[in-house]
Amino acid sequence: MNSVHKIFSLLSILLIMSSLAIAQSKVGEHALGTIPYEKFQKPELCGAACHADIYMQWRQAMMSQSYTHHWDEIEYFELAVPHAEKDPVVAGVKAGCNGCHAPVSFLAGDVPPPRPEKMSRANEGVSCDLCHSVTGFEGDVPYNFNWTVQPGEVKYGSRGTGKSPEHKMQKSEFLASGDFCGTCHNEMSPYGIWVKSTHLEWKEGPYFKQGVKCHDCHMTYAPGYSAAMGTKYPDVRQHLFHGAHDPGKVRGTIELRVHPSVKEAEPGEKVVFTVALFNQKTGHKFPSGSVEDRIVWMHVEATDAKGNVYHLPVDKKGFPGEEYTIGADVLAYQDMGIAKGIDNFPGVQRDGIPVGDRIFRMPYFDPQGRMTIQQWNTKSLGVDYRIGPRETKLETITFNLPSNLPLGELKVRAVLNFQKLVKPVAEFLKVPAEEAEIIVVNDHSTSINIVD
Ligand code: HEC
Ligand code: HEC
Ligand code: HEC
Ligand code: HEC
């Protein structure tokens, strides 16, 4: 090849590369800094007169608090950002967290955005105009904010039929699909692990097959107006987005029934109690989403005729990784020491619940194989012992009745509890107590007669 040829082919390679770069520049991590703040309208404008009702619903949902919520602020500024500055493998999360949590700031290239108290546009969180400017996604699987977005005069939405003095409208099949939600509700860690997979769980489950979408449970239909001066419709999408932060949504998710192996028993005998846990409500697994933070556990107690209380641990089943699904007195989460600058950090209690209780969870492990709540530092996953949509799990509890057990009624009660964030982590990071509040998902009781 002569030198002219060489220069020519080099130029064409450069040209191809730069056009590829332009094509990709708008999606996922490549979209950083590509769209200035001014291109997006503020939620206050949408909510001022026209969409006041939807605006108030959105304000109440976590969607509007995805940047300002206390635990988000703590995890981003006190763990993720310092960790990203120390470890090149996870350096990308300094900007990347905001691709889902403060997308308008991510697009504007504002990294890290000012703290919430500074009242910057990051505080808009997942805003009206961000969602209503999304046109589709790139790739085969929606994840890591790989939506394509085109802010401007046209707002994409449900109908595209009404008239607005403010903007044009276009009906979007994409916004109406679960894939749209998946662009932010599936997340892959820098180690290539699915650390959030709500959309993938839904796609594998029974609801997707029956055409039930995310929207049908989180943006339900109700009659009314979608804009103050618009038409009345029988089916306006409510912007509820209620999930783990709504005790009412969580309550009743799992139905419990406990039954004994016998109606009567004598002191000293062995009685088995079986608990059936049926997932009646979620379209994905329970828990889903921020699985690394969540803990769902079953506590079983017996009360004898004299009021003495016995804590009954669950029977082991013997599957690999089961030790992570039974409450234990062990330490974990040592990798918080990296961001916190604590050498040889011993960790904090893994569970913070009674030893022996069954936990429905999937553990996340850091590159050293230790359990972590830092989903971005996750290199592998443990056993998935969550309760799938419409799945029933059976647990047994064997009670060796004490020889001095008083005669009369012995009551047994099973309670299923949910915590958004394991309590020892919440206490260590000084996350407000409400994030570790115990929500009772459900309970059920039975009794047997103690005879001689
Ligand atoms: C997380 C993304 C998201 C956010 C944030 C969001 N929306 Fe929506 N919006 C949707 C989706 C999805 C639909 C329904 C699409 C469908 O079912 O066809 C919708 C529907 C609508 C509709 C049409 C309702 C109807 O049934 O006629 C209006 C109006 C609307 N949104 C306004 C707003 C306003 C105003 C805000 C901010 C206060 C907002 N949206 C925030 C995703 C979002
Ligand atoms: C641009 C990204 C994005 C899109 C698109 C998106 N979400 Fe979200 N969503 C989030 C973030 C971020 C949060 C977490 C807020 C927090 O807790 O910090 C969230 C929170 C939620 C919650 C509340 C969970 C809880 O813990 O209480 C629900 C429910 C939810 N989203 C449903 C949906 C549905 C349904 C769709 C599709 C119609 C959707 N989301 C689309 C980013 C998104
Ligand atoms: C059949 C109804 C149903 C469908 C379909 C459904 N969800 Fe849920 N979802 C629920 C219920 C009930 C909860 C509350 C229990 C819980 O926290 O998991 C919930 C919780 C959530 C949470 C909080 C999870 C947690 O534990 O932190 C998110 C996020 C969420 N849903 C998003 C979605 C998305 C995205 C889709 C579609 C891919 C979807 N949901 C489909 C019923 C549903
Ligand atoms: C691909 C999108 C995406 C990315 C990237 C992402 N998140 Fe999230 N995050 C979500 C969604 C969606 C939820 C809500 C899930 C749920 O409610 O279970 C969430 C929830 C959270 C929560 C709230 C959990 C709770 O119980 O309230 C925190 C804190 C959080 N994320 C921090 C971060 C940090 C820090 C990063 C960067 C290391 C990050 N997120 C990256 C989508 C994302």
For the stretch 192-218, pLDDT in tens is 999 999 999 999 999 999 999 999 999
- Say yes or no to pLDDT of 21 above 70: no
> Which residue of 65, 69, 187, 198 sits with most ligand 3 atoms within 8 Å of its CB, as the best mutation to test the pocket?
198
Nearest CA to ligand 2 atom 34: 181
Q: Report CA-CA distances (Å) from 417 to 13, 389, 422.
A: 59, 18, 12
Q: What is the pLDDT of residue 16?
A: 47
In the reported structure, the alpha carbon of residue 62 is separated from the centroid of ligand 2 by a whole-number distance in angstroms of 7
For the stretch 423-438, pLDDT in tens is 999 999 999 999 999 9
Banded pLDDT at 163 (limits 50, 70, 90): confident
Ligand 1 first shell, C-beta below 6 A: 43, 46-47, 51, 54-55, 58, 63, 126, 128, 131-132, 157-159, 175-176, 215, 226-227, 233, 236-237, 239
For the stretch 291-300, pLDDT in tens is 999 999 999 9
Percent of the chain scoring above 70 in pLDDT: 94
Q: What is the phi/psi pair of residue 203, to 5°? A: -65, -30
Q: Both ends of the chain: CA-CA distance in Å?
A: 101
Nearest CA to ligand 1 atom 4: 128
Do the beta carbons of residue 262 and residue 397 sit within 8 Å? no
For the stretch 124-133, pLDDT in tens is 999 999 999 9
Q: If you count them, how many residues does the chain have?
A: 452
- Say yes or no to pLDDT of 379 above 80: yes
- Say yes or no to pLDDT of 421 above 80: yes
> Which residue of 126, 127, 130 sits with most ligand 2 atoms within 8 Å of its CB, as the best mutation to test the pocket?
126
Give the ligand at the shortest distance from the Cα of 129. Answer: 1
- Say yes or no to pLDDT of 91 above 60: yes
Banded pLDDT at 26 (limits 50, 70, 90): confident
User: Which atom of ligand 2 approaches the CA of 240 most closely?
Assistant: 29
Q: What is the pLDDT of residue 7?
A: 53
Banded pLDDT at 17 (limits 50, 70, 90): very low
- Report the amino acid identity of residue 243: G
CA angle 437, 439, 440 (to 5 degrees): 145
pTM, full prediction: 0.95
| Euclidean distance between CA atoms 410 and 405, whole angstroms | 9
- Say yes or no to pLDDT of 2 above 70: no
- Give the domain 247-450 fold: Immunoglobulin-like (2.60.40)
Q: Report CA-CA distances (Å) from 82 to 141, 196, 335.
A: 30, 22, 12
Q: For strand 232-237 and strand 392-400, is the pairing parallel, antiparallel, or unpaired?
A: unpaired
For the stretch 38-68, pLDDT in tens is 999 999 999 998 999 999 999 999 999 999 9
In the reported structure, the alpha carbon of residue 97 is separated from the centroid of ligand 4 by a whole-number distance in angstroms of 7
Do the beta carbons of residue 423 and residue 348 sit within 8 Å? no
From the CB of residue 306, how many other CB atoms can be counted at a distance below 10 Å?
9
Task: Tell me the H-state helices in 61-145.
Answer: 70-74, 81-86, 93-101, 103-108, 128-131
CA dihedral 107, 113, 116, 119 (to 10 degrees): -70
| Euclidean distance between CA atoms 109 and 121, whole angstroms | 12
| CB crowding 400-412: b at 16 or more within 10 Å, else e | ebeeebeeeebeb
For the stretch 316-369, pLDDT in tens is 999 999 999 999 999 999 999 999 999 999 999 999 999 999 999 999 999 999
Looking at residues 81-98, what average pLDDT do you find? 98
Looking at residues 172-190, what average pLDDT do you find? 98
User: Which atom of ligand 4 approaches the CA of 79 most closely?
Assistant: 35
Provide the residue ranges of all domains of the chain, joining segments of one domain with +.
23-202, 247-450
- Say yes or no to pLDDT of 397 above 90: yes
In the reported structure, the alpha carbon of residue 402 is separated from the centroid of ligand 3 by a whole-number distance in angstroms of 43
Q: For strand 295-303 and strand 254-260, is the pairing parallel, antiparallel, or unpaired?
A: unpaired
Q: What is the pLDDT of residue 5?
A: 58
For residue 62 and ligand 2, the question of a CB distance below 6 A is answered with yes
- Say yes or no to pLDDT of 20 above 60: no
Among 360, 442, 419, 363, residue whose Cα is nearest residue 393: 360
In the reported structure, the alpha carbon of residue 375 is separated from the centroid of ligand 4 by a whole-number distance in angstroms of 9
**Mean pLDDT of the chain, nearest integer:** 95
- Say yes or no to pLDDT of 24 above 50: no
Q: What is the pLDDT of residue 165?
A: 86
> Which residue of 184, 219, 281, 420 sits with most ligand 2 atoms within 8 Å of its CB, as the best mutation to test the pocket?
184
For residue 288 and ligand 3, the question of a CB distance below 6 A is answered with yes
Among 410, 383, 420, residue whose Cα is nearest residue 291: 420
